[in-house]
Structure 1
């Protein structure tokens, strides 16, 4: 509790950095100063922009975000903006970091306002998913997509819609659930429950970070997978496990979801215990 008191400070714009990557500067990030993206020498307004937002105790240099950035940039037809709020997320007091998400979301929202909504896809992990939601809420015209990777549950579960990521924050909101650290509610247009959504193969039940991070690993794999993750629409996990939904509609989980029809509802997915996680890959 003492730490929660001593580590609290008024956040400022200096605590949050926005780094732009394209094929032209894939290893040399251009910092977007004062949120003025239109002054960028590398930003291409005709490209789709992927905005990546890390979670609690992470930074934009965290392993899976760097890998995701590299995969996206390699296409040559995307802008990638990485939101770094490490100065605020690295506190050992989770409630403080959770409280900062609104501020970071507001700054991110100001940046998004300068972009074409139909060309913006926000991807956030854990607390970063809620940052993305807050950014989306600010827009007069909603961005095309927000993806929440196991959105943080503690201090957000059962919050009002404007106090967490919600399906109203973008035209299309998809959510991947993998752990007890995440919000289990159906908060997106499409909610994907992986292996039940709480415990992942090869992660022990007690290793919550392992289960939580699996959402990042799965989404990263979905970008380049040749077979992808086949998700079954189903009303409940018990119905799925009892094969009561075998004849229901399917949709791919992860990156291809929007381009393959953006089917709405609750979906259930099984994976391998190790990478590659897509079942058909082994």
Structure 2
């Protein structure tokens, strides 16, 4: 017994006519008859009652028609699902991203993915910098969007976007524009900055910015998450340096002053990952 014999049986069970069924399934009538006889022999069950005028199902045949119809529908669905996975149209993609693009690039990325691959499941997570490489290597993540270059062995990265750094101040702060930012004024401010991660190119960029301004910042608070930093700024605990993409979060009580310093966004993924889902998503994100 094989799947094709079951398909022949179900076709005959619908038509109850050998000649019409044979024509429908594109085989000869004698070949169809042999297939049904072989199926009955394998099962040890008579499936049809036949005479020169009529073909009808036996009670056992009727039972198998109902059961196999449901099973075949499920099998066809499984095969279709497998084809979609093979083509990168189904399954799950796990993407880590920085908090800063939650209100800007991430909605655009999700929109593109959901419109192009509506059956694809998307998991969005935020991961500490020191865990990104480990999670990629251990298949806990498929793709990382980060402000840091990941030059580790087995990881590939490429730049996809550039935005500016911005000074974040409370609405009532006297700093209004970039022209207000003198070395002397900035030196008197308390800063809230990201956690210092060794090897982080983003942290190095912030340090380079302060060095170019010849400022040693008075830093008394650090946080891994930009949303927390902004909340602290709003409460008057200090000012901060963050990517200006946070503007899209539309957070009340703070003002962003764009600075002439660029910060890049990178895609990182496993070099040896041949998952078609990942390949499709990379094409979409690169096009943003």
Superposition TM-score, scaled by structure 1 size: 0.24
Using CA pairs under 8 Å that are at least 6 residues apart, name the structure with larger relative contact order, 1 or 2.
2
> Which structure's residues are more often strand, by fraction?
2
* Greater C-alpha radius of gyration: 2
> Which structure's residues are more often helix, by fraction?
2
